[in-house]
Chains A and B, each alone.
Chain A
Amino acid sequence: MTTVNERVDAFHDNDQKPVGYGRMLRKEDPRFLRGRGRYVDDVQLPGMLHLAILRSPVAHARIVSIDTSAAEASPGVRAVVTGAALAQQNLAWMPTLSNDVQAVLATDKVRFQGQEVAFVVAEDRYAARDALELIDVEYDVLDPVIDARRALAPDAPLIRDDLDGKTNNHCFDWETGDEAATEAVFARADVVVSQDLVYPRVHPAPMETCGAVADYDAVEGKLRLWSTTQAPHAHRTLYAIVAGLPEHKIQVIAPDIGGGFGNKVPIYPGYVCAIVASIVTGKPVKWMEDRSENLISTGFARDYIMRGEIAATRDGRILGIRTNVLADHGAFNGTAAPVKYPAGFFGVFTGSYDIEAAYCKMTAVYTNKAPGGVAYACSFRITEAVYLVERIVDCLADELGMDPAELRLKNFIRPEQFPYTTKTGWVYDSGNYEPTMRLAMEMAGYDELRREQAEKRARGELMGVGIAFFTEAVGAGPRKNMDILGLGMADGCELRVHPTGKAVVRLSVQSQGQGHETTFAQIVAEEIGIPPADIEVLHGDTDNTPFGLGTYGSRSTPVSGAAAALVARKVRDKARIIASGMLEVSVADLEWEKGAFHVAGDPGRSVTIQDIALRAHGAGDLPEGIEGGLEAQICYNPSNLTYPHGAYICVVDIDPGTAQVTVRRFIAVDDCGTRINPMIIEGQVHGGLTDGVGMALMEMIAFDEDGNCLGASLMDYLIPTSLEVPDWETGFTVTPSPHHPIGAKGVGESATVGSPPAIVNAVVDALKPFGVRHADMPLTPSRVWDAMRGQARPPI
């Protein structure tokens, strides 16, 4: 077995390879650096109109009347549309990704502040906004349901009276694991620790908000839609279902996207409004929401109220984990998750530990808030799962008086146990946790940090060290049990090699900054020997790319990356046959050396992939039964998810006078198997760690008791700037995924998943002298101050 350091050394050699994996500068950078990216709001079409949406000022109210006459008379206005008008076309409601329905424009009543009530189409964005002010809506205000804990109270106001027979605010129940077995291990455990934890509602807040340009051509009967979508093909199919347009007459174009982070997976009412507006006016129509609209109405993240319980022996052997979750889904269940997984992949809450039993029971409820839940690099609720397990493991360490690193090391799933089936049924593909943990501790100087902490504590200074060790589950997913509204979670890839040996790869996934145009060229280059510079990667245009489910859940590398490798191998197999004809030897006598076939034992007789491409398109006979051209297409159905892991250590200092938390150091060691481009992975990790600082210390979408959203602008919803984050310290180990064609696992969301518990663990560790065992996020100065005074309270 190689050591971690040997792996690191071996990896650095890859940096020098002319093609394939290793650090490679990004192909997409030149246009972004010159302001030549093309984002949705950059799209300008002749005669294009602008759409603006009127939103509800209250959380819960019956709509008594809407008067649009003054708005219609406003200069430059072309159309004003209400829910009643949409209802006539059967478009007032649309299906969500969770088999619920969501109002496009409210008809009967509004169910959250910021909900879409009417829209205006005008000649420019200023005129559209002017007209919004002139729409007169009379509301009959109803009591809202804001606290999820009270949503199922007998006297709670009914939110979803649109659903037949609905008499309460219950959304769904879900459970996993073995309740009886878990009871049994808890009954015989030496130690049981229980802790209430809230993962507050936050928001992905990509720098570019959501928007669309719809252009319906009545002559062709064709709809073109530029939109901020992470899943263009899935969106096209859903529009076909919602709008009744045939799929081949809908072209969804996802251009450059200014960050997604899960925010751009669902279909939002604004997209549908833009489509309707273009059909109604016969003109292209642009809708671009502003920041407040983004924060108040598009997909939130988290909002899980959890009780975590952990059972162990006195010497620190973890026996079982039990949890009870109350999930706040807002007014419509718009969670983006595979249909059979209403709680996403929360079932991986047993984490990186080999335990005997586990059980989770969850109840989800409706409240008068915006829909969402799965977003913000959560990998389908794994942020919540990892936060739960990594917090309660720390609570257990505290109870046992054990070092949290030691407790984790003692309970890790061992490398020889993989593939490892968890007590909730997840089959972890591979992992070698201890070396990853040891590397992080070595990079951090863990023992020295503990000594420093003891010295500082003696002086009354507040320093904390927090650890999180996580196992992710990414790459949804096997089609036998994973689908989005009936669409299996597979991804296509098409590779065409041109006559001169240049190539184009078409993907079904959609980058939002993750560097696919670079890394997918590297995958194909590694497989077929064409330099990455000669490989153009196209994505985001449903007319010109193969079908697939899009980019979220860190699924691009696991699913589409596998497809790219396999399609290249398919092309290489054909190239081998053509080469055998060119060299007049049998296929079995050929050896592949990156970029060329040569005759075994006679390296001088060889043909390059470029020679073969020309032959495939050119003159001269091809071997019997072989068609001209050099291209292939596949649709990859993964056999399992990939399970990357990581060890994170956070060092915080807290000012005892102001309770301000400073993240002094953050050490992140990630293992995502084979690393395609270490530069890009590092950037992904940096971004995710910053998300973690935001969630742990700053970010929250809060509501007052009337349902007013208190985090609806960047004045109130605080996102880390360059001054709140340290220079990140990253490391890695390599444990390839055995079932993935190139051994690569996803990684994009790992840091967002892993960092919040590390930071909270560090803050709680720092506050130990105050007897603090837990404090909920966001750990703002005021909340930390309260915790220091023994008054820690949940944020909601």
Chain B
Amino acid sequence: MQVTMTVNDVEVTRDIEARLLLVHFLRDVLGLTGTHWGCDTSNCGTCVVWLDGEPVKSCTVLAAMAGGHQVRTVEGLAKGADLDPIQQGFMQCHGLQCGFCTPGMMMTARALLDRNPDPSETEIREAISGQICRCTGYATIVRSVRWAAVAEAQAAAQVTETTESTEAGEIDNAGQPAEAAA
């Protein structure tokens, strides 16, 4: 069968088998290998991508079901040379080691910040609880997401040129404004 979808803002049309999983369509057919495949029971979340802006486990979606929809993968997270704040946060706070869970984690975290720009630690932990990481012990991932939230808040504050710019301080590697960490 033929399927047409938009992946990272590019429309693609391919002939596929009806049973083909979206994760394999992205990886094997389109060569977008940033999305990973870590289990066979829909638990690990290394395959998380966005379907119309919502994080989904692409191992549990048929490629055919994505027909006519918008898909975004980790390759579509950075804007050209500029890393998304989530990506910067993971780097600054050492939110990754082997890097295998990272793409899925970041897609979930980006979606979280898009609907809740100031999530608590508990909210972050709940948001990523469908995803397993074997390396980091999660704490630095939580800090990474906080780092991105704070960075975005500070950037927004600068854009609006409020007189409260003194509120925006340095961000430390624990993902907290310096004042909060001190």
Q: Using CB atoms and an 8 Å cutoff, list the residues of chain A in contact with chain B.
A: 23, 25-26, 28-39, 41-42, 44, 124-126, 205-209, 256-259, 261, 290-292, 512-515, 679-680, 682-691, 713-715, 719, 721-723, 725, 727-728
The 8 closest A-B pairs by CB, nearest first: A35-B34, A513-B98, A32-B99, A258-B100, A686-B137, A513-B97, A714-B43, A35-B74
B125 on the A face (CB < 8 A): yes
**CA of A440 to CA of B100, assembled, Å:** 32
**Contact yes or no, B96 A33, CB < 8 A:** yes
- Nearest A residue to B33 via CB reads A42
Fill in one digit per residue for B1-34: 1 if any A CB lies within 8 Å of its CB, else 0: 0000000000000000101100010011001111
Expressed in whole angstroms, the Cα–Cα distance for A261 and B98 within the complex equals 11
- Chain B positions within 8 Å of A, measured between CB atoms, are 17, 19-20, 24, 27-28, 31-41, 43-44, 46, 73-75, 77-78, 83, 87, 90-92, 94, 96-103, 106, 121, 124-126, 128-142, 173
Residue of A at shortest CB range from B31? A44
Cβ B141 vs Cβ A722 within 8 A: yes
| CB closest chain-A residue, reference B91 | A29
Closest residue on chain A to residue B46 by CB atoms: A207
The answer to whether A39 touches B100, judged by C-beta atoms less than 8 angstroms apart, is yes
Residue of B nearest to A693 (CB): B137
A residues less than 8 Å from B102 (CB atoms): 32-33
Bound CA span A139–B136, Å: 44
| CB-based contact B90/A722 at 8 Å | no
**CA of A28 to CA of B101 in the docked complex: distance in angstroms?**
15
CB distance from A420 to the nearest CB of B (A): 31
Measured CB to CB, the closest approach of chain B to A423, in angstroms, equals: 35
Q: How far is the CA of A124 from the CA of B39 in the complex (A)?
A: 19
Q: In the complex, what residue of chain B is closest to A514 when comparing beta carbons? A: B97
Q: Given the complex, which residues of A lie within 8 Å of B32, measured CB to CB?
A: 35
The answer to whether A33 and B132 touch (CB under 8 A), given A28-B99, A713-B39, A714-B44, is: no
B132 touches A683 (CB 8 A): no
Q: Quick one: which of A23, A33, A208 contacts B36, CB cutoff 8 A? A: A208
Nearest residue (CB) in B for A261 is: B134
Q: What 17 additional pairs, Cβ within 8 angstroms, besides A125-B24, A687-B97?
A: A29-B99, A33-B83, A35-B35, A124-B28, A207-B46, A258-B100, A259-B100, A683-B135, A683-B136, A685-B137, A686-B136, A686-B140, A713-B41, A719-B134, A722-B126, A722-B142, A723-B125
Contacts of B131 in A (CB 8 A): 721-722
Cβ–Cβ contact A34 & B97, under 8 A: no
Q: Which residues of B contact A684 (CB under 8 A)?
A: 97
Query: Could you say which of B87, B100, B128, B173 contacts A722, with CB atoms under 8 Å apart?
Result: B128
The answer to whether B99 touches A727 (Cβ under 8 A) is no
Verify B94–A680 contact, CB threshold 8 A.
yes
Given B87, B100, B101, which contacts A33 in the complex, CB threshold below 8 Å? B87
Q: Which of A34, A37, A721, A727 contacts B132 (CB 8 A)?
A: A721
- A205 CA to B133 CA in the complex, in Å? 11
**In the complex, what residues of A have CB within 8 A of residue B126's CB?**
722-723
Q: With A126-B17, A722-B128 known to touch, is A259 a contact of B134 (CB < 8 Å)? A: yes
For the residues of B in contact with A, the DSSP-based class is loop
Q: What are 27 sample pairs from A and B whose C-beta atoms fall under 8 A apart?
A: A26-B91, A33-B90, A33-B91, A33-B96, A34-B77, A34-B83, A39-B36, A41-B33, A125-B28, A206-B100, A207-B46, A208-B36, A208-B100, A258-B99, A259-B135, A679-B94, A680-B94, A683-B136, A686-B138, A689-B137, A719-B132, A721-B131, A721-B138, A722-B124, A723-B129, A725-B138, A727-B121
Q: Is the CB of A291 within 8 A of B135?
A: no
* Contact between A291 and B39, CB atoms less than 8 A apart: yes
Instruction: Give the shortest distance, in Å, between A755 (CB) and chain B (any CB).
Output: 10
Interfacial chain B residues near A687, Cβ < 8 Å: 97, 134-137
Q: A126-B17, A209-B38, A686-B139 given as contacts; is B134 within 8 A of A33 (CB)?
A: no
Q: How far is the CA of A514 from the CA of B138 in the complex (A)?
A: 16
Residue contact A35 to B103, C-beta cutoff 8 Å:
yes
Q: Which residues in B have their C-beta under 8 angstroms from that of A26?
A: 91, 94
- How many angstroms between the C-alpha atoms of A30 and B134 in the bound complex? 20
Q: Is the CB of B137 within 8 A of A207?
A: no
Q: How many A-B residue pairs have CB under 8 A?
A: 183
Kindly identify which residue among B31, B99, B133 contacts A37, using a CB–CB cutoff of 8 Å.
Answer: B99
The winner among A26, A291, A512, A722 for most chain B CB atoms within 10 A is A722
A594 → chain B closest CB, angstroms = 25
Q: Which of A30, A34, A679 contacts B173 (CB 8 A)?
A: A679
Residues of A within 8 A of B94 (CB): 25-26, 679-680, 682-683
CA of A126 to CA of B136, assembled, Å: 33
B87 touches A41 (CB 8 A): no
A728 contacts across to B, CB distance below 8 A: 137, 139
- How far does the alpha carbon of A258 sit from the alpha carbon of B99 in the complex, in Å? 6
Residues of B within 8 Å of A679, CB to CB, are 94, 173
**CB–CB B128/A257 < 8 A:** no
B138 touching A291 by the CB < 8 A rule?
Answer: no
User: Does A713 lie within 8 Å of B40, measured CB to CB?
Assistant: yes
With the chains together, A208 CA to B33 CA distance in Å?
13
CA distance in complex: A680, B39 (Å) = 27
CB distance from A718 to the nearest CB of B (A): 9
User: A44 — which chain B residues lie within 8 A by C-beta?
Assistant: 28, 31
Closest B residue by C-beta to A719: B132
Out of A25, A125, A686, name the residue touching B91 (CB < 8 Å): A25
Let me know if B99 and A513 touch, CB within 8 A. yes
**A415 vs B126: C-alpha distance when bound (angstroms):** 45
Given contacts A29-B91, A513-B99, contact A35 B73 (CB under 8 A): yes
Q: Shortest distance in angstroms between B34's beta carbon and chain A's nearest beta carbon? A: 2
Q: Which A residues touch B36, using CB under 8 A?
A: 39, 41, 207-208, 258
Most B C-beta atoms less than 10 A away, residue of A31, A37, A209, A512: A37
Q: How far is the CA of A714 from the CA of B46 in the complex (A)?
A: 13
A residues in contact with B132, CB < 8 Å: 207, 714, 719, 721
Question: What CA separation (Å) do A727 and B137 show in the bound complex?
Answer: 9
Query: What is the chain A residue whose CB lies nearest that of B35?
Result: A35
Considering residues A30, A207, A209, A725, which has the most beta carbons from chain B within 10 angstroms of its beta carbon?
A: A207
* Nearest chain A residue, comparing its CB with the CB of B107: A35
Quick one: closest B residue to A751, CB to CB?
B137
Interfacial chain B residues near A37, Cβ < 8 Å:
34, 99-100
Closest to A204 in B: B134
Q: Is the CB of A715 within 8 A of B129?
A: no
CB distance from A678 to the nearest CB of B (A): 10
Q: When the two chains form their complex, are residues A30 and B91 in contact, meaning their CB atoms are under 8 A apart? A: yes
Residue of B nearest to A691 (CB): B134
Q: Tell me if A34 and B96 are in contact (CB < 8 A).
A: no
Q: Report Cα–Cα, A684/B136, bound state, in Å.
A: 7
In the complex, the answer to whether B99 meets A715 with C-beta atoms within 8 Å is no
Is A34 in contact with B138, judged by CB distance below 8 angstroms? Answer: no
Which of these, A25, A206, A292, contacts B40 with CB under 8 Å?
A292
Please, which residue of chain B has its CB at the minimum distance from the CB of A30?
A: B91
Determine whether the beta carbon of A683 is less than 8 Å from that of B34. no
Distance, CA A261 to CA B124, complexed state (A): 26
Residue of B nearest to A295 (CB): B39
* Docked complex Cα distance between A208 and B27 (Å): 15
How far is B100's CA from A32's CA once the two chains are assembled, in angstroms? Answer: 8
CB nearest neighbor in A for B105: A722
Residues of B within 8 A of A35 (CB): 32-35, 73-75, 77, 103
Partner of A36, one of B34, B92, B97: B34
Q: In the complex, what residues of A have CB within 8 A of residue B87's CB?
A: 33-34
Q: Which residues of B contact A680 (CB under 8 A)?
A: 94
CB distance from A41 to the nearest CB of B (A): 7
Tell me the smallest distance from the CB of A212 to a CB of chain B, in Å: 16
Q: Are B98 and A257 in contact (CB under 8 A)?
A: yes
Smallest beta-carbon distance B138→chain A, Å:
4
Residues in A neighbouring B124, C-beta threshold 8 A: 722
Question: A261 to B33, alpha carbons, bound, how many Å?
Answer: 23
User: A23 CA to B39 CA in the complex, in Å?
Assistant: 34
Per a CB cutoff under 8 Å, which of A34, A208, A259, A683 touches B74? A34
Contact across chains for B125 and A513 when beta carbons are under 8 A apart: no
Q: Assess the B43–A727 pair: CB atoms within 8 A.
A: no
A32 contacts B40, C-beta separation under 8 Å: no
Shortest beta-carbon distance, A519 to chain B, in Å?
Answer: 12
Closest to B93 in A: A679
